[in-house]
Structure 1
Amino acid sequence: MRIGLLLSLAWADYRTEARLSICAVLALTAVITPLLVLFGLKFGLVSTLTERLENDPAVREVITLGGGRFSAKEIAQLALRDDVAFALPRTRQIAATADLSTAASGQALTVEMIPTASGDPLLASAPLPAGDEQILLTQSAAEKLGVKAGDRLGARFGRRQDGQAESRQLSVTVLAVLPLATFNRDALFAPLSLLEAAEDYRDGRAVPRLDWPGREPAEPGSRVYPGLRLYAANLDGVESLRQHFNASGQEVSTQAQTIAQVRSLSHNLNLVFWIISGLAVAGAFAAIVASTLAAVERKRRALAVLRLLGFPTAALVAFLVLLALYSGVFSLGLAWLLYGLAQVGLNALFESAAGEFVCRLLPVHYLIALLATLACSILAAALGGWRAAQIEASEGLRDV
């Protein structure tokens, strides 16, 4: 089959009926553009909300409730799970406090102590304390104390021993000040060893490495932790960890409801999009079929002459399909241009954080739109071209 000849004939015919061709392009563009914008909004909105949840450690945090009993071995095994991003023991909250003061003011501020270690989701870009003498301070606590990174503080730990109030002080360096977005309460982040030392001292035990007096320290490995800092590796991990703890009888608090709401929104938007898309595609399909049938009636004599010249039925149908493809390609190109303008306008109108988009399409979405448009054009034109198959070569003799 002379494909080159067929392409040139179809293109010449398409240009000859320029007004009708432009109308066909504009009609398809009116269908494709809203679908691109709608899908861009759906994908951009849902992906942005999902990324926010994924990047927010608080959403992936699993908080144990009640008096738990976890050994260091159990927590280490938990940290090896695929759905766990970070797991670290926590000492008793009543013992995890410290009174911070500066040499200049002498005024103390009671803060909570939070254990941290490598891989802490809250401290993704912050330096990690290398020992008990280094801490990370939250912004609210730093502002109240009037300190900054590099300053030294006194951390006092008190207890009552045999009815007498006792305390020990440790000089610590503020390694960094954490922004409010990381943690908005008065707190310090320190190695777990410092929290264990504070708990042992308040329980009346000695802490030899810090020269804090008391009775004999507990046996290594015998410590039982009432809770832990636990973060899931992803949003799906939140639910799997909740089920894991429920199976063992440990009650936990999670953000599962928030995650479910976003996924429900995604599901509902998908449903709305596909309903609207189905109606729009059905209308476009019917329009292409009708356009092809009208083209056959207008070109009936020309098609009969082509058959008389030796063009088979398949070639006549292919001729009509090519006309539809030209309209589909031009329509999609114009729709992409209009979508690009709408995308810029919508993202500027609903300006969000850097890297976030209210309306967004990926390269793969453009490819899918191209393939879907071509497939719809080919199928609709082929179905509409059945009339061309009924044209007899004898009809062309009347015009010879």
Structure 2
Amino acid sequence: MKQIALLAVRDLFHSRVFLFCNTAIMVGVLVPLLLLFGVKNGVYSALIGEMLANPANLQIDTSGNATFSPEDVAQLSTWPEIAFFTPKVRGQFDYMNVRTKGGRRLKSAVVIPSGAGDPTLPLGLDLPEGQVAVSAQLARQLQISAQAEIELISQAEGRSKQLRLPMKVVTVLPEGAMSGRAVMLAFPTLDVIEAFYESYTLPTYGIEGARKLEDRVPSYEGVRVFAHRLEDLAALQSRLETTLGVRTLARTQEVNALLGLGKKLNLALGLTAALAAMGLGAALVFGFWSDVARKRQTLAAIALLGVPGRTLALFPMVQAGLTATFGLSLSFVLFLGAGKIADRLFGRGLPDGAVLAQISQGQAVSICFVVYGLVLTAAGAAAWSALRLDPATVLRETS
């Protein structure tokens, strides 16, 4: 078996034209496919990355007037598709006036519940009570930065005293992370604001009210939810609406459009690859089979030396394996070169750091396995021909 393998290798390099032709066929088919596959990966990954860079694309907000108990909201913690969630207070109570400590300029801003794990916040940042994150627009208009001290101020009808909440800005959110003037803070602070508007007594802040705080029954208007993945968004939105019986708002249409584009690109590329594989397979079958037919006399002479047919069938299989190795190696080298050229010519519109044509290591290994399988299957016809070779008949015909 070892001698047949060595003989096949020597014969392959001796018949360089055969090796060159089959390698050229493989390269001519594989390089365009690799480039198409790489560009699809690069562009689609850039689009997905751009969408994931904005956490709002994973966000689901309940809308309308509804009332949820703590038990209704607590059940969401067991849903595996949820990355983060927090309850919300009623919409009429989620606006506050904001100013710098000791300043005079007031700006109204929406206050948004947040907490540890909120995708809108920088990774690892928590928002304990007394600390907030502000949107870029609010920070720009009030001329504040991280570590600044601000006040949240509200005046409710029938209240003789304002609610003043001193806060420390721990971070200014980047542009696009949160639109408009917004302040993100821990939900318990929002609960205090709602209690203030509902005329409850707030002894911590020295505010007297018509109702006792201990008599207050916690309830929520809705929830603010983030999905783990873009693929989970539509199903999670539907499940929330069914379970909680409320309308929701999310960017499901835009997300589904992008995910649908990826599926269509995969289908188109799969059909193209299937047709190319059929053509490549047919070319290689006739190539390997004709090569065995051309060397029938040589193989018959080897068989007369006592080499069994099964061992002789390895001759075209070894040559096919080497041909696939050369073809794949050259194809990937040319793909890398073509990818760099394409990136320079057409990659300017992609986000920073994005590559126009890319194939991951796992994908490359899978491609190699598929190509080796295709080539060795094509060589099977030649191996079957060698297996059925009758040395006496071949030598008698040639004589």
Aligned-partner Cα distance in 2 for 1:10–1:77: 67
Q: Please name the residue that 2:364 is paired with.
A: 366
Tell me by how many angstroms 1:10 deviates.
0.9
Change (3 A) 1:385 1:153: closer
Q: Please name the residue that 1:7 is paired with.
A: 5
Preserved CA contact (<8 Å) 1:83 1:240? no
Aligned-partner Cα distance in 1 for 2:387–2:109: 85
2:298 to 298, 302, 306: 302
Q: Please name the residue that 2:162 is paired with.
A: 167
Q: Please name the residue that 2:29 is paired with.
A: 31
Preserved CA contact (<8 Å) 1:122 1:182? yes
Query: What SS class does the counterpart of residue 216 from structure 1 fall into?
Result: coil
Aligned-partner Cα distance in 2 for 1:160–1:391: 101
Preserved CA contact (<8 Å) 1:127 1:176? no
Q: Please name the residue that 2:269 is paired with.
A: 273
Q: Please name the residue that 1:135 is paired with.
A: 132
Deviations 1:152-198 (A, max 9, x none): 2232211121xx77523333322222212321211111222222222
Preserved CA contact (<8 Å) 2:282 2:378? yes
Q: Please name the residue that 2:73 is paired with.
A: 75
Change (3 A) 1:365 1:152: closer
Query: What SS class does the counterpart of residue 205 from structure 1 fall into?
Result: coil
Q: Please name the residue that 1:342 is paired with.
A: 338
Which deviates the most, 361-370 or 284-293?
361-370
Tell whether 2:146 aligns with 1:146: no
Preserved CA contact (<8 Å) 2:98 2:109? yes
* Counterpart AA for 1:125: L
Q: Please name the residue that 2:180 is paired with.
A: 185
Aligned-partner Cα distance in 1 for 2:367–2:164: 67
Q: Please name the residue that 1:231 is paired with.
A: 226
Tell me by how many angstroms 1:116 deviates.
1.4
Change (3 A) 1:75 1:150: same
**1:88-127 → structure 2 map (5 Å cutoff):** 88-102=86-100, 105-125=103-123, 127=125
Tell me by how many angstroms 1:102 deviates.
3.2
Tell me by how many angstroms 1:105 deviates.
4.8
Change (3 A) 1:160 1:128: same
Q: Please name the residue that 2:390 is paired with.
A: 392
Change (3 A) 1:38 1:220: farther
* Counterpart AA for 1:4: K
Tell me by how many angstroms 1:69 deviates.
0.7
Aligned-partner Cα distance in 2 for 1:215–1:354: 57
Aligned-partner Cα distance in 1 for 2:275–2:334: 21
Q: Please name the residue that 2:323 is paired with.
A: 327
Tell me by how many angstroms 1:398 deviates.
8.1
Aligned-partner Cα distance in 2 for 1:232–1:398: 74
Output the TM-score relative to the length of structure 2. Answer: 0.90
Aligned-partner Cα distance in 1 for 2:395–2:185: 92
- Number of residue equivalences: 395
Tell me by how many angstroms 1:366 deviates.
1.9
Q: Please name the residue that 2:308 is paired with.
A: 312
Aligned-partner Cα distance in 2 for 1:278–1:154: 64
1:194 to 189, 193, 212: 189
* Counterpart AA for 2:88: R
Tell whether 2:209 aligns with 1:211: no
Preserved CA contact (<8 Å) 1:79 1:85? no
Deviations 1:41-94 (A, max 9, x none): 333334444454455421221111210111223212222321222221211222
2:236 to 234, 237, 241: 241
Aligned-partner Cα distance in 1 for 2:63–2:306: 83
* Counterpart AA for 2:60: V
* Counterpart AA for 1:329: T
Which deviates the most, 9-18 or 348-357?
348-357
Deviations 1:98-137 (A, max 9, x none): 21223565121111111111111111337433323x3222
Aligned-partner Cα distance in 2 for 1:246–1:168: 35
Q: Please name the residue that 2:60 is paired with.
A: 62
Preserved CA contact (<8 Å) 1:347 1:357? yes
1:380 to 378, 381, 394: 378
* Counterpart AA for 1:177: V
Tell me by how many angstroms 1:17 deviates.
1.3
Aligned-partner Cα distance in 1 for 2:226–2:215: 26
Aligned-partner Cα distance in 2 for 1:57–1:203: 32
* Counterpart AA for 1:252: T
Preserved CA contact (<8 Å) 2:116 2:125? no
Aligned-partner Cα distance in 2 for 1:330–1:234: 40
Query: What SS class does the counterpart of residue 121 from structure 1 fall into?
Result: coil
Change (3 A) 1:94 1:388: same
Tell me by how many angstroms 1:305 deviates.
1.4
Preserved CA contact (<8 Å) 1:97 1:111? yes
Q: CA RMSD in A?
A: 2.5
Q: Please name the residue that 1:259 is paired with.
A: 255
Which deviates the most, 253-262 or 334-343?
253-262
Change (3 A) 1:237 1:209: farther
Query: What SS class does the counterpart of residue 170 from structure 2 fall into?
Result: strand
